Amino acid sequence: MNWEDNVRKVVPYVAGEQPQKNGIIKLNTNECPYPPSPLVESRIKELEYQNLRLYPEFPEKSKLYDTLVSYHGVGREQIFIGVGSDDVLSMAFLTFFNSDMPILFPDITYSFYDVWAEVYGIPYETKPLDDDFRIRKEDYLGANGGVIFPNPNAPTGVLMDIDEVEEIIRANQDVVVIVDEAYIDFGGTSALPLITKYDNLLIVRTFSKSRAMAGARIGYAIGNEKLIGYLNDVKYSVNSYTMNHMALELGVASMEDEAYFKEICGRIIATRERTERELTALGFTFPKSYGNFIFASHSSVQAGEIFEELKKCDIYVRFWNKPRIDNYLRITIGTDEQMDALFEALKKILAVRI
Ligand SMILES: *Cc1c(COP(=O)(O)O)cnc(C)c1O
């Protein structure tokens, strides 16, 4: 007998690289290329450092909570706040996926889902996307222990029609369905209005992408009071003080600047449309994306090779050496200047290979 026999062994999630070097064009982790709202900057200066002496307020007692309640027009007990949506999703897996039946999610999706299932010992089954990288709703209509998928999906950017989302929720009213809306602000239709109709639906959102606040770690879930109640019971059985005082304050400042939020989302959508045209001209194909990224494959040069060559030019994109997606690059939409640098680098890389 060795102490290692009783260790919980997991293969952890691998996030995109965060290079320490300056001057990198970072298009690999779907961060926003623009700064957070200027209101966030001024709020940082107003933060009272003395407050760090105290435990933070509980999320439900915070101004961020009230702000989210009124912003989304939901009831007082319908929101759960966590340390990024990763924390919210992890707590939701632990709370709601407690059946002997397998939970279902796509084979190509956010690569944290199978990690949480493994670490919590939740049985799961992945369902293959079709050849156009669409989620096949038929695969989610049978008996299961729960369903989770991002809409739009990651890393493909493909958006599922809201009627199909509803069909999946309707067919699964005996389990919890989680819709991960990390990228919903870039042009998709949210399933949020459906929470009044289905008490088994949990919507998860984040400040990391469309609010340019990945470093603040703010995510939240919206659902019916009962769902949120169960989520809080589990969360308060793990760690009471998840959200730090500063994140709670800065999140409010971001929510108070709706005009800026709309502006940066609009800019990213415009740059995404321009990127679609440029990439097409360079010989890339990709599914229509509703995220702040494009999942692209080149007609004649291997993705892995382009990935390495771009890295030499200090341009980082994301590449997975995994079945079905090993000839694709996930390219985050940066500023127009960053994308111009990408197009120039791609032209040079491709010119000597085709
Ligand atoms: C980025 C991302 C998340 C996690 O974001 P947080 O920074 O933890 O809020 C969750 N789901 C998907 C699909 C994502 O792409």
Which pLDDT belongs to residue 8? 92
Separation CA 293–CA 117 (nearest Å): 26
Q: Around 9, how many Cα atoms within 13 Å sit in the side-chain half-sphere?
A: 4
Which pLDDT belongs to residue 21? 87
Which pLDDT belongs to residue 268? 98
Separation CA 69–CA 78 (nearest Å): 8
How far apart are the CA of 217 and the centre of ligand 1, in A?
10
Probe residue for ligand 1, chosen from 153, 206, 217 as the CB with the greatest number of ligand atoms within 8 Å: 206
Q: Look up residue 284 and give its two tokens.
A: 């890339």
How far apart are the CA of 182 and the centre of ligand 1, in A?
6
Instruction: Please give the DSSP secondary-structure letter assigned to residue 128.
Output: -
How far apart are the CA of 5 and the centre of ligand 1, in A?
33
Probe residue for ligand 1, chosen from 18, 28, 32, 86 as the CB with the greatest number of ligand atoms within 8 Å: 86
Q: Look up residue 291 and give its two tokens.
A: 């995220």
Query: Does the beta carbon of 223 sit less than 6 angstroms from any atom of ligand 1?
Result: no
Q: Which residues of the chain have pLDDT under 50?
A: none
Three-class DSSP labels, 72-111: HCCCCCCEEEECHHHHHHHHHHHHHCCCCCCEEEECCCCC
175-203 per-position pLDDT tens digit: 999 999 999 999 999 999 999 999 999 99
Query: Does the beta carbon of 309 sit less than 6 angstroms from any atom of ligand 1?
Result: no
Separation CA 192–CA 334 (nearest Å): 28
Closest CA to 31 of 182, 137, 157: 182
Probe residue for ligand 1, chosen from 31, 85, 151, 254 as the CB with the greatest number of ligand atoms within 8 Å: 85
Query: Does the beta carbon of 208 sit less than 6 angstroms from any atom of ligand 1?
Result: yes
Which pLDDT belongs to residue 17? 87
Query: Does the beta carbon of 84 sit less than 6 angstroms from any atom of ligand 1?
Result: yes
Residue nearest to atom 1 of ligand 1 (CA): 182
> Which of ligand 1's atoms lies nearest the C-alpha of 30?
1
Which pLDDT belongs to residue 83? 97
Query: Does the beta carbon of 157 sit less than 6 angstroms from any atom of ligand 1?
Result: no
Separation CA 133–CA 225 (nearest Å): 34
Q: Look up residue 254 and give its two tokens.
A: 């971001």
Separation CA 266–CA 46 (nearest Å): 29
Q: List, as one string, the DSSP characters of 201-234.
A: EEEEEESSSTTS-GGG--EEEE--HHHHHHHHHH
Probe residue for ligand 1, chosen from 90, 105, 110, 290 as the CB with the greatest number of ligand atoms within 8 Å: 110
Which pLDDT belongs to residue 38? 98
How far apart are the CA of 347 and the centre of ligand 1, in A?
31
How far apart are the CA of 209 and the centre of ligand 1, in A?
8
Question: How far, in Å, are 45, 73, 83, 169, 309 from residue 192 at the CA level?
Answer: 34, 11, 21, 12, 41
How far apart are the CA of 350 and the centre of ligand 1, in A?
32
Q: Torsion angle, CA of 273/277/278/283, rounded to 10 degrees?
A: 130
Residue 163 class from Cβ within 10 Å (0-12 exposed, 13-18 middle, 19+ buried)? Answer: exposed
